[in-house]
Structure 1
């Protein structure tokens, strides 16, 4: 199905909405789109008419972890309409495995930070080892960078680039303030060194921080974006100024922070038991989503996170959609948590559905420098999500999935449904 026409549909291009439209896919790319009156008359491809359906660019999850034990992740993301994922930390052997896996049919496209820039006993080592004392995990952690100075940063970046071909670099800046868990974090000097050396190699930098203090510090280091918002206290104007100073963006991971504080359980259970997704999830996934990490239940409040994103949005800071879905991150599920996050953007932050969908498509692509995905536009790859109904009016319609394509190839989960 790499060449075909979808017609009589609504199209969200990643920026605008076209009603009663068509899209023409040829050899896995967008050949043309527009009003149905302009459908090419000389075409031998199959034509599918899908009234009351909306076509979206494939979603881009800008924050995932699909390392050890996550070989099912890329196929599951695709089933949920997430056609591209951005890995934010994994070990060499797992990155190499995912690079190979993404070449196979029925998998999401894979972008990666490779292994993140870590220090001895820094995040997330103490949290992982407190709950997982297996030899396998210890062996993985032993391979992590233990950065200390300029020379170690240069050696780490050269190794990461050579071995893992990263699309960006991930920094960790976590003091444990939001979790009442004192942790060792890198110095601001070290973080600046990582940012500057990454930039000199043409790579963006993305940082983990979950407290206001840590967020302000790592923004001062010059990172391009934050992989979380904070949940330890209400936002201040100072944080808006810090984002503006570096033109940084925020991927807040609100659903995951709800699990971190323990306050998200009710909504997690709602999504886990939604009848529209039961055929896309395993029983273990459902159980996994219905539990909470709870690391920040004493010090953190998810409403502080909501407040921070509302303030950043009102100030014109770019908000990107990403789930932080990971095997060890209970309260999340590969693919499903992106739809949960979109719902929170609309119902808690006050975004319009178009704004939320943009945050998961064209805005992610623009900020990460992905040139051929994130839009339904002539010449772009045909990464597409077809849903029944109108998510422009009701964001929760994104779970009415009727077809998913990566480069024009239909995900096998939808072959029977789509042909019907």
Structure 2
């Protein structure tokens, strides 16, 4: 169990509001008290950290990643170093769940892990297209062949039962029609997708869907999906899609960095982040190489500007935008943990977000929309997932990379063990 911890003389962004100068007391891995002004340590054993000129924010939640297991703990370990205390996996092999959950639960240097488990796939559908575009090994093809091939209501009911047994945190649908892409995967029928959403809802599960075209987004919204895990890049936004989001009270997780990699328009920014000394120290050579490459799966019609336009219009209409990076091993142009910071900066630079609004999208709002009720804010009784930043990211979102301390449930990540009191 973590020690009692008092962080004082710091600016606090609690996930919703700013406290210009305050203190946070942590006991037993939870936030015990948040105070304007100074607090006294409850006893002599309390670890006291005073950091004027610094800002304490909730642990960042990446609402869209795809994890894998390796000896270097590249996913959960790297994410935590970058202040991402929770990752939300959106498609995972069932046999990996126990190991990933064990690392998240037992390793204080690993981010917490939420997952859809296996997504609702059909033969020849998404994400087979993107995976096999980069990896055609016999091992990968054999693994893809084991994924569900949903055909009817009975298949759907069995699939949802399996996800309940897996203790999935939400259900992920795939609705990629290939419009705007250089690949054309098989698309599940609308009847099948409606069955998945309905059966998931009957079991109390949240539903989110992949779609990167305007047409696909409209189709899946009209079936009652709770949220989109991307925005689209094949056409400019229309009032029709804004109305469909509003009618459904659906959220959007636009994954703008991944879309810019898809269209190859993001390479310059990817290289800039890879070479930023605040980031590069946490990336291995392969990670740097992958970050500097692009997925390049879009056709000539697609533009990342369409995605930016859509997010601006959705935001103006009052639709919830949450942060997720779509970081994945085969997803060139992304890096676990780091791409979450780039996504926050992109919301500010391209989509009319203030730094505060971007931080909300990456903390309290993503927690609310993905039903993570015990995190996302610095508030009494919630998990003490905390990030200490030198400077003020509420004025300059780039400062989120100036990390000086990361705590998961009140335990300091060992990367920052040299933090001076």
Smaller-chain TM-score bracket: over 0.9
Displacement, 1:287? 1.1
Aligned to 1:112: 115
Native 8 Å contact 2:323 2:362 kept in 1: yes
- Provide the residue aligned with 1:376 in structure 2: 378
For residue 347 of structure 1, the aligned residue among 346, 349, 357 is 349
SS at match of 1:377: coil
CA distance in 2, matches of 1:263, 1:215: 22
Secondary structure, aligned partner of 1:62: strand
Deviation at 1:41, TM superposition (A): 5.8
Q: How far apart, in 1, do the equivalents of 2:135 and 2:40 lie?
A: 58
Q: Distance in 2 between matches of 1:297 and 1:261?
A: 7
Residue aligning to 2:145: 142
Q: Which residue of 2 aligns with 1:244?
A: 246
Aligned to 2:92: 90
Q: Secondary structure at the match of 2:142?
A: helix
Contact 1:175 1:184 in 2 (8 A): yes
| TM-superposed deviation, 1:34 | 1.2
Q: Is the 8 A contact 2:81 2:415 kept in 1?
A: yes
Decide whether aligned partners of structure 1 residues 239 and 387 sit closer, same or farther in structure 2, where only a CA change above 3 A counts. same
Residues 320-339 of structure 1 mapped to structure 2, 5 A cutoff: 320-339=322-341
Q: Which residue of 2 aligns with 1:9?
A: 10
5+ long unaligned stretches in structure 2: none
Instruction: Please identify, of 310-319 and 64-73, the stretch whose mean Cα deviation from structure 2 is larger.
Output: 64-73
Q: In the TM superposition, what whole-angstrom CA distance separates every residue of 1:233-291 from its partner, at most 9, and x where no partner exists?
A: 10000000000111000000000000000000011111111011122111211111111
The list of structure 1 runs, each at least 4 consecutive aligned residues, that deviate by more than 4 angstroms after superposition, is none
- Residue of structure 2 equivalent to 1:18: 19
Alpha-carbon distance between aligned partners in 2 of 1:262 and 1:41, rounded to the nearest angstrom: 52
| 1:183 paired to 2:179 | no
Superposed CA deviations along residues 111-139 of structure 1, whole A, max 9, x for unmatched, are: 00000000011112133224322222123
- Compute the displacement of 1:68 (Å): 5.2
Residue 351 of structure 1 and its aligned partner are, at CA, apart by 0.5
CA contact (8 A) 2:6 2:41 kept: no
Per the normalisation by structure 2, the TM-score is 0.97
> Which of 154, 173, 177 is the matching residue for 1:151?
154
Aligned residue number for residue 132 of structure 1: 135
Q: 1:232 is paired with a residue of what secondary structure?
A: coil
SS in 1 for 2:281: helix
Q: Distance in 2 between matches of 1:131 and 1:288?
A: 12
1:338 Cα offset (Å): 0.2
Distance in 2 of aligned mates of 1:136 and 1:183: 20
Aligned length: 417
Q: Using the alignment, how far apart are the partners of 1:246 and 1:80 within structure 2? A: 34
